[in-house]
Amino acid sequence: MASLTVRRLDDEIKVALKLRAAKNGRSVEDEVRVILRDAAGSAEPATIDPGAERPQPRVEGGRRVTLIIGGGIAAYKALDLIRRIKERGFYVRVVLTQAATHFVTALTVSALADERCYTDLFDSQSEFDAGHIRLARDCDLIVVAPATADLMAKMAHGLADDLASAVLLATDKPILLAPAMNPLMWRNAATRRNVAQLLHDGVLTVGPNAGEMAEANEAGLGRMSEPLEIAAKVEAMLRPKQLQNLQPQSLNGLRVLITAGPTHEPIDPVRYIANRSSGKQGYAIAAAAAAAGAETVLVSGPVNLPDPKGVRVMRVESARDMLSRVEQSLPADIAIFAAAVADWRVSNAGEQKIKKSASGLPQLDLVENPDILATIAKRTHDRPKLVIGFAAETEHVAQNATAKLARKGSDWIVANDVSPATGIMGGDSNTVQIFMKDHTAPETWPAMSKDDVAGRLIARIAQAVHGVPPKSMS
């Protein structure tokens, strides 16, 4: 059935239907499909996309958090937590316990998470493909906030009689609990035993904090940590391993300038020439440089990525804007040109939208854009000590990279094969070779995530800057 139209329903049924759909995080139409399928007793899986896989923005490293919201008054703070985790560039998928649905609605949670939330262990829709196993495994971290006394008791005893506890029992991922309960419940011997057991099992906690309770005249230890505090802990746990291994001070006192993303070259006020660069690699390098203590400036073309922490970001559109921002940002000690700058721009770009005309196709005259890398590498004044370019090639990677090193005057070229089969352009992983001036053989690094390439590149730069001899640097 390609489409479904439901007309002339009683208002009461309409309201009930809307509520049921909202609770399950489905459209009304999808909800009707589920009801019909169940009524028909069909053994066929419904061909429904309940919004479950509505794509979330692709983010750095694609790290994913399953957030379990327990049934306590602090559940309202978990709504803010969803935003705070997303703000840090992670995906969030939410499970609500039945008790939590008394405090927050599935509709609000789904709207904030950009994805339906999950409530029911026996939901035919998600359990068709073992939904609780997917929720437990298809993530990098499980956060429980608020973690109620009841939920922690279930965890400590390995119970799995609802979706949240089943996910927690089925996971092999790290678990972070943000306990929240009345101080008397927190102090109760049973809770003490359960928390001790969970800590012994390797579960991590944040909070609870001391303070006022929701109940009048009650105060003490039991308030859930603030969303910002929990999000900071999530971020610390999910930081790429490569960044965790970085010496935090290895680039202290140095200024690093990075370009990233594509450029947009206008054809007229509404059209432009662009390319498929996502900016992920350059953003990851900026994050790694900042994590290593560098004063980091990122000049970014138009991308859909959050500003990396601790980095000064300047957003530009065209190659000429990018060059001028880069020049304004000098002097710098190290410059890394990861942007996929458009080679050409339209010299006769329309001031108004170009209209179709009977007299033929518009004539676009292309002129070459300034080469930002070459311009900076060949400066005689204020040239950064280390200038690094990228070479995205679809063939003859080594020859092209070596030629580029000489032609552009850079010190290193980070080369990668971006032919479509590699999935590197826009993807999360990268395989690179580092070509260095005066070195015949390049360093070839194994395939790794773009975050790991960034961490390793910054570590490598730190070695070079601190004068570690080339032979021991690979």
Active site residues: 275
Q: Does 389 bind ligand C5P (CB under 6 A)?
A: yes
Residue selected from 136, 178, 284, 391 as contacting ligand C5P according to rule CB under 6 A: 391
Stretch that binds ligand C5P, among 18-26, 53-61, 294-302, 365-373 (CB under 6 A): 365-373
Binding mask 23-52 for ligand C5P (x = CB under 6 A): ------------------------------
Stretch that binds ligand C5P, among 4-12, 288-296, 389-397, 424-432 (CB under 6 A): 389-397
State the virtual CA torsion across 344, 349, 354, 357 in degrees, nearest 10: -80
Which are the contacts of 357, defined by CB distance < 8 A and separation ≥ 6?
A: none
Stretch that binds ligand C5P, among 7-15, 286-294, 388-396, 440-448 (CB under 6 A): 388-396
Site size with ligand C5P, rule: CB under 6 A: 13
Q: Tell me whether residue 254 or residue 373 sits nearer to ligand C5P (CB atom).
A: 373
336/283 Cα distance (integer angstroms): 11
CB of 346 to ligand C5P, least distance (A): 15
CB of 310 to ligand C5P, least distance (A): 23
Q: Does 103 bind ligand C5P (CB under 6 A)?
A: no
Q: Does 337 bind ligand C5P (CB under 6 A)?
A: yes
Neighbouring C-beta atoms of residue 41, cutoff 10 Å: 6
Judged by DSSP in three states, 199 sits in helix
Q: How far is CA 271 from CA 164, 268, 275, 344, 353, in A?
A: 48, 5, 13, 15, 8
Stretch that binds ligand C5P, among 11-19, 92-100, 157-165, 385-393 (CB under 6 A): 385-393
Residue selected from 120, 295, 371, 411 as contacting ligand C5P according to rule CB under 6 A: 371
105/243 Cα distance (integer angstroms): 37
Q: Does 283 bind ligand C5P (CB under 6 A)?
A: no
Q: Does 282 bind ligand C5P (CB under 6 A)?
A: no
Q: Does 390 bind ligand C5P (CB under 6 A)?
A: yes
CB of 337 to ligand C5P, least distance (A): 4
260/159 Cα distance (integer angstroms): 48
Q: Does 373 bind ligand C5P (CB under 6 A)?
A: yes
Q: Does 339 bind ligand C5P (CB under 6 A)?
A: yes
Q: How far is CA 180 from CA 73, 169, 217, 393, in A?
A: 9, 20, 17, 53
Helix ranges (DSSP H) in 393-468 = 397-408, 450-465
225/415 Cα distance (integer angstroms): 45
Give the DSSP per-residue string, 116-148.
--B--TT-HHHHTTTHHHHHHHSSSEEEEEEE-
Q: Tell me whether residue 126 or residue 410 sits nearer to ligand C5P (CB atom).
A: 410
Q: Does 106 bind ligand C5P (CB under 6 A)?
A: no
* Nearest of 320, 291, 334 to residue 451 by alpha carbon: 291
Residue selected from 319, 335, 397, 454 as contacting ligand C5P according to rule CB under 6 A: 319
Residue selected from 110, 369, 430, 433 as contacting ligand C5P according to rule CB under 6 A: 369
Q: Does 148 bind ligand C5P (CB under 6 A)?
A: no
- Which one-letter DSSP state was computed for residue 361? -
Q: Tell me whether residue 207 or residue 442 sits nearer to ligand C5P (CB atom).
A: 442
For strand 412-417 and strand 432-436, is the pairing parallel, antiparallel, or unpaired? antiparallel
Q: Tell me whether residue 108 or residue 275 sits nearer to ligand C5P (CB atom).
A: 275
On the question of a cis peptide bond just before residue 262, with omega within 30 degrees of 0, the verdict is no
Which are the contacts of 435, defined by CB distance < 8 A and separation ≥ 6?
A: 398, 401, 402, 405, 412, 413, 415, 442
474/462 Cα distance (integer angstroms): 12
CB of 411 to ligand C5P, least distance (A): 12
Residue selected from 142, 144, 168, 372 as contacting ligand C5P according to rule CB under 6 A: 372
Stretch that binds ligand C5P, among 7-15, 92-100, 370-378, 416-424 (CB under 6 A): 370-378
Contact 97, 317 (CB under 8 A): no
CB of 49 to ligand C5P, least distance (A): 39
Report how far apart the first and last C-alpha atoms of the chain are (Å, whole number): 60
Locate 12 and state its tokens.
């009461």
Binding mask 394-413 for ligand C5P (x = CB under 6 A): ----------x---------
Q: Does 262 bind ligand C5P (CB under 6 A)?
A: no
Q: Does 300 bind ligand C5P (CB under 6 A)?
A: no
What are the residues facing 144 on neighbouring strands? 68, 177
Locate 143 and state its tokens.
């956060």
Q: Does 386 bind ligand C5P (CB under 6 A)?
A: no
In the complex, the residues that contact ligand C5P under the rule CB under 6 A are 259, 319, 337, 339, 341, 369, 371-373, 389-391, 404
